């Protein structure tokens, strides 16, 4: 990425992630920043998923969401993690050099396609 | 947080407990029966002139019966209130007219239609 | 020439979703109960809606992101969860009302009770979304909805009191039934300034791949299209005022609305209005189902689009399928469609501030609208809409409890 200032909350958080195939892979629901003593804090990874969103709403809600996701979720509450080094550019969307199909982000998309949509009459 | 929930609950209960006063119930009942009487007169008037199909008249009779039945139940709760009794009699007369003619609609010719329209109880009838 | 045709078609069809069960029910009740006195909320609501729709279209054309997406990006999930939850509830209730409206239209046409039509109506909505594409909904169904112009014909044929009508365009105090008057005013505003309309419009602009070249089309469509829709709503009120109000008749059942057309126009007017009610509510049901799917998909960053096949946007199509699946439930358990409609219109008003407030910020954010930011007039109108929405949100529920019939 170009050597420029990035406003993490304004320009990254809650923005759409686009994978290397130009497909949507959810939003940047959270970020992990590493703060090592004596060093500049840096962004380690972007995170996505319902568990991350639950945590943003509060500790109690976050715990309930995590338990529900672990019990009923397809990926058992696993977060989508995109390392900062895989971020290619940031405009209104965040382009990442990751295949969304290989992450938990699109599990429900695939599962619904194989187990529900395919059993219904053919759509357009 | 708990305080706000209690306040909201109290307001909701107060609102639920704020039932209508008896004379409001009677006034609403009276307006409803008058409104539906005029509605049925308008519908049947147009039916006599073949401006609306019979299936519409059937629907309106059914709708009137439903609304008037509900008002009747509200008025019955007022017990021996004289004004409520008067309105209930009006509702009963109109419902009797509906019940008497509902099944005749299908085969009614022009003359029969006019007869049904003219049979709608007027305000002057009955005690 | 193609551009003029596109604009004309857009104007004619963009009123789809404007005239639906809520606007018909509230306008008919208002006209029957208060004559021409409540024309002013329709006028006020239409003007506000024109501004909001134009802004929604402008933002979508410039940043290629529809409104829900932009709100999530700019305000974050902690804010967006409020309109998400609220809009889910309102979309469900209003969608149920629209399926109810479709069912009542079919009841008027067939004589078979509306509850029998609830499930087939929902299936029809689903099939059109499943098999059709955005153009079908935008043009096909909306074009058929022009049957509702029969209300305008009926209103004119009744030779209404035009002077009294003009006076009704100016806010006035009620002479009787004060609480019910204000409840109707709030419900009319809720039916007119429905968030699903501008969410749908902005998502549609992205589906149609609008860009800066389409800003003129957007302005014309928003202005004339919504104006046209407002005119038809006013016609419902005027016709009800001319037919029902002089006789002191109140509108308590949706079936009574057919009388405002059959009285001046006779049998053919009856059939047309019945068909028009069915199609108008069908159009609104399609838009509402899509709106729910748009809001969820854009909130969570899923693939979305009515032009995509279900396999290419599985979560998007699952959401609208789910909303449609549950939409007949309230009707099947015996909830009266008229009461459901009036309740959901009042509730729509409650969520309005949460949707409109972020809009003001976004329309002044160069990241989203670049140099096409709001001018002074646009910002003033938005500010007034927010203040009005906040006031309405506070009074809507008490008025519903004490003034709803």
Q: Is the pLDDT of residue C378 over 80?
A: yes
Residues 374-403 of C with CB under 8 A from B: 398, 401-402
How much is the pTM? 0.92
The answer to whether C293 contacts chain B (CB < 8 Å) is no
Predicted confidence at residue B20, as pLDDT, reads 75
CB contact B31 to C (< 8 Å): yes
Query: What stretch of H or E contains A26?
Result: strand A24-27
CA distance C76 to C195: 19
Q: Over range C107-126, report the average pLDDT.
A: 96
Phi, psi of A112 (to 5 degrees): -65, -40
Task: Note whether A74 contacts C: Cβ–Cβ < 8 A.
Answer: no
Q: Is the CB of residue A18 less than 8 Å from the CB of residue A24? A: yes
Whole-number average pLDDT of chain B: 86
Please judge whether B34 and C267 are an interchain contact, meaning their C-beta atoms are less than 8 angstroms apart: no
Q: How confident is the model at residue B15 (pLDDT cuts 50, 70, 90)?
A: low
Q: In this complex, is the C-beta atom of B39 within 8 Å of any C-beta atom belonging to chain C?
A: yes
pLDDT at res. C134:
77
Task: Identify the burial level of B59 via C-beta atoms within 10 angstroms of its C-beta, where 0-12 means exposed, 13-18 middle and 19 or more buried.
Answer: buried
Please give, rounded to a whole number of angstroms, the shortest distance from the CA of C253 to a CA of chain B: 7
Please give the pLDDT value at position C155: 96
Answer whether B60 sits within 8 Å of C255, measured CB to CB.
yes
What is the reported pLDDT for B16?
53
Residues C211-266 have pLDDT tens digits of 999 999 999 989 988 999 999 999 999 999 999 999 999 999 999 999 999 999 99
Identify the chains in contact with B, defined as 3+ C-beta pairs within 8 A. Answer: C
CATH number for the region A8-119 comes to: 2.30.30.240
What is the reported pLDDT for B17?
52
CATH number for position C200: 1.20.1740.10
C139: pLDDT strictly greater than 80:
no
pLDDT of residue C347: 85
Structurally, chain C folds into a number of domains equal to: 1
Q: How confident is the model at residue C350 (pLDDT cuts 50, 70, 90)?
A: confident
In this prediction, residue C349 carries a pLDDT of: 87
**Which pair of structure tokens corresponds to residue B124?**
């002057």
Segment B72-109, tens digit of pLDDT: 999 999 888 888 999 999 999 999 999 999 998 988 99
- The label of the residue with tokens 């955005």 reads C134
Nearest chain B residue to C265 by CA distance is B51
Q: Which residue, among A71, A70, A79, has the nearest Cα to A32 in the 3D structure?
A: A79
- In this prediction, residue B127 carries a pLDDT of 46
Per-residue pLDDT band for B124 (boundaries 50, 70, 90) equals: low
Q: How far apart are CA C66 and CA C204, in angstroms?
A: 8
**C367 in contact with A at a CB cutoff of 8 Å?**
yes
Those of residues 80-119 in B touching chain C at CB distance below 8 A are none
Mean pLDDT of C303-327: 94
Encode pLDDT of C1-21 as tens digits: 555 656 666 665 655 667 889
User: Which of B35, B56, B63 minimises the CB distance to C248?
Assistant: B35
Neighbours of C160 (CB within 10 A): 20
- The answer to whether the beta carbons of residues C67 and C59 sit under 8 Å apart is yes
Tokens of C227: 């104006």
Token duo for residue B85: 């009794």
Distance (Å, whole) CA B109 – CA C224: 48
Mark yes or no for CB contact A124/C133 under 8 Å: yes
In chain C, residues with a C-beta closer than 8 Å to the C-beta of B120 are none
Chain C contact present for A5, CB below 8 A:
no
Q: List, run by run, the mean pLDDT of 10-residue segments along chain A (124 residues).
A: 78 94 94 92 94 95 94 90 92 91 94 93 80
Contact C76 A27 (CB under 8 A): no
- Closest partner residue to C111 among B31, B36, B59, by Cβ? B59
Q: Are strands A87-90 and A80-83 parallel, antiparallel or unpaired?
A: unpaired
Is some CB atom of chain C closer than 8 A to the CB atom of A124? yes
Task: Provide the number of CB pairs (under 8 Å) joining chain B to chain C.
Answer: 64
Give tens-digit pLDDT for A25-60: 999 999 999 998 999 999 999 999 999 999 999 999
Q: CB-based contacts of B87: which residues, under 8 Å, 6+ apart? A: B26, B29, B30, B33, B75
Q: Which residues contact C389 (CB under 8 A, 6 or more apart)?
A: C193, C349, C352, C353, C356
A23 contacts in chain C (CB < 8 Å): 303
Token representation of residue C239: 């016709």
Structural domains counted in chain B: 1
Q: Which chain C residues have a beta carbon less than 8 Å from that of A48?
A: 301
pLDDT band at C342 (very low <50, low <70, confident <90, very high): confident
DSSP A6: -
- Tell me the count of A-C CB pairs closer than 8 A: 75
Which chains share 3+ C-beta pairs under 8 angstroms with A?
C
- Token pair in block for residue A86: 């895989």
The larger pLDDT score, comparing residue B5 to residue C192, is at C192
Whether chain C has a CB inside 8 Å of the CB on B14: the answer is: no
- Interchain contact C135–A (C-beta under 8 A): no
Write out pLDDT tens, residues B28-80.
999 999 999 999 999 999 999 999 999 999 999 999 999 999 999 999 998 88
State the pLDDT confidence band at B22, using cuts at 50, 70 and 90: confident
DSSP state letters, B45-75 = HHHHTTSS-HHHHHHHHHHHHHHHHHHHHHH
Distance (Å, whole) CA C178 – CA C104:
30
CB distance A16–C69 less than 8 Å? Answer: yes
| Residue B14, in any domain of the structure | no
State the average pLDDT over residues C187-207.
91
Domain around B34: 21-118
User: Looking up tokens 């909306």, which residue turns up?
Assistant: C142
- Please report which helix (H) or strand (E) contains residue A95, including its range: strand A94-96
Q: Please, what is the average pLDDT of chain C?
A: 91
Q: Which of A24, A120, A124 sits opposite C303 (nearest CB)?
A: A24
Between C129 and C8, the higher pLDDT residue:
C129
- Whether residue C258 and residue B32 make contact (CB cut-off 8 A), yes or no, is no
Enter the tokens of residue B95: 């419902």
Q: Alpha-carbon distance A51 to A82, whole Å?
A: 15
Question: ipTM of this predicted complex?
Answer: 0.94
Chains near C (3 or more Cβ pairs under 8 Å)? A, B
Q: Is A20 helix (H, G, I), strand (E, B) or coil?
A: coil
pLDDT digits (tens, 9 = 90+) for C142-166: 788 889 999 999 999 999 999 999 9
- Torsion angle defined by CA atoms of residues C198, C199, C204 and C209, in that order, rounded to the nearest 10 degrees: 100
Q: How far apart are the C-alpha atoms of C318 and A37, rounded to whole Å?
A: 48
DSSP assignment letter at B21: P
Enumerate the residues of chain A whose CB falls inside 8 A of the CB of residue C140: none
């Amino acid at each position: 990425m170009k050597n420029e200032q990035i406003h993490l909350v304004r320009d990254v958080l809650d923005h759409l992630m686009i994978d290397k195939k130009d497909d949507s892979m959810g939003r940047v629901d959270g970020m992990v920043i590493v703060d090592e003593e004596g060093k500049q804090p840096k962004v380690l990874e972007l995170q996505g998923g319902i568990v991350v969103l639950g945590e943003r709403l509060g500790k109690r809600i976050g715990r309930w969401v995590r338990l529900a996701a672990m019990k009923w979720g397809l990926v058992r509450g696993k977060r989508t993690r995109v390392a900062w080094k895989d971020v290619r550019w940031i405009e209104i969307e965040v382009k990442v050099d990751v295949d969304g199909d290989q992450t938990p982000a699109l599990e429900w998309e695939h599962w619904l396609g194989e187990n529900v949509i395919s059993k219904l009459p053919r759509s357009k | 947080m708990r305080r706000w929930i209690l306040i909201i609950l109290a307001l909701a209960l107060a609102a639920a407990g704020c039932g209508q006063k008896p004379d409001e119930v009677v006034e609403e009942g009276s307006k409803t029966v008058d409104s539906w009487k005029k509605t049925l007169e308008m519908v049947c008037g147009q039916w006599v002139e073949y401006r609306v199909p019979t299936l519409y008249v059937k629907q309106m009779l059914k709708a009137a019966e439903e609304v008037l039945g509900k008002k009747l139940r509200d008025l019955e709760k007022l017990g021996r209130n004289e004004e409520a009794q008067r309105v209930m009699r009006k509702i009963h007369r109109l419902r009797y007219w509906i019940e008497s003619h509902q099944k005749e609609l299908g085969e009614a010719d022009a003359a029969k239609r006019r007869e049904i329209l003219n049979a709608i109880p007027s305000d002057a009838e009955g005690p | 020439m193609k551009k003029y045709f596109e604009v004309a078609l857009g104007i004619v069809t963009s009123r789809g979703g404007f005239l639906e069960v809520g606007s018909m029910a509230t306008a008919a009740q208002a006209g029957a109960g208060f004559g021409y006195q409540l024309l002013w909320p329709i006028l006020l609501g239409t003007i506000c809606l024109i501004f909001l729709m134009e802004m929604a279209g402008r933002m979508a054309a410039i940043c290629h992101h529809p409104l829900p997406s932009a709100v999530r990006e700019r305000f974050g999930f902690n804010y967006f969860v409020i309109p998400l939850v609220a809009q889910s509830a309102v979309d469900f209730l209003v969608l149920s009302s629209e399926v109810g409206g479709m069912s009542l239209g079919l009841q008027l046409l067939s004589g078979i009770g509306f509850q029998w039509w609830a499930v087939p109506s929902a299936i029809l909505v689903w099939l059109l979304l499943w098999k059709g594409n955005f153009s079908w909904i935008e043009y096909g169904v909306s074009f058929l909805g022009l049957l509702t112009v029969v209300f305008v014909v009926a209103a004119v044929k009744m030779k209404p009191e035009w002077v009294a009508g003009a006076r009704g365009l100016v806010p006035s105090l009620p002479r009787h039934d004060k609480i019910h008057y204000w409840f109707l005013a709030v419900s009319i505003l809720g039916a007119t300034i429905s968030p699903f309309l501008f969410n749908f419009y902005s998502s549609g602009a992205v589906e149609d791949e609008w860009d800066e070249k389409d800003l003129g089309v957007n302005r014309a469509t928003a202005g004339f299209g919504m104006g046209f829709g407002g005119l038809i709503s006013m016609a419902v009120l005027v016709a009800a005022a001319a037919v029902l109000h002089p006789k002191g008749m109140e509108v308590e059942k949706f079936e009574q609305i057919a009388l405002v057309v059959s009285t001046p126009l006779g049998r053919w007017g009856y059939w047309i209005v019945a068909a028009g009610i069915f199609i108008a509510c069908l159009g609104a049901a399609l838009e509402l189902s899509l709106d729910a799917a748009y809001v969820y998909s854009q909130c969570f960053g899923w693939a979305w689009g009515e032009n995509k096949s279900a396999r290419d946007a599985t979560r998007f199509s699952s959401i609208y399928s789910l909303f449609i699946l549950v939409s007949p439930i309230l009707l099947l358990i015996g909830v009266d469609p008229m009461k459901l409609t009036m309740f959901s219109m009042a509730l729509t008003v409650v969520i309005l501030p949460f949707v409109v407030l972020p809009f003001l910020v976004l329309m002044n954010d160069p990241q989203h609208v670049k140099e096409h930011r709001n001018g002074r007039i646009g910002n003033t109108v938005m500010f007034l809409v927010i203040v009005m929405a906040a006031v309405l949100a506070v009074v809507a529920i008490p008025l519903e409890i004490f003034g709803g019939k």
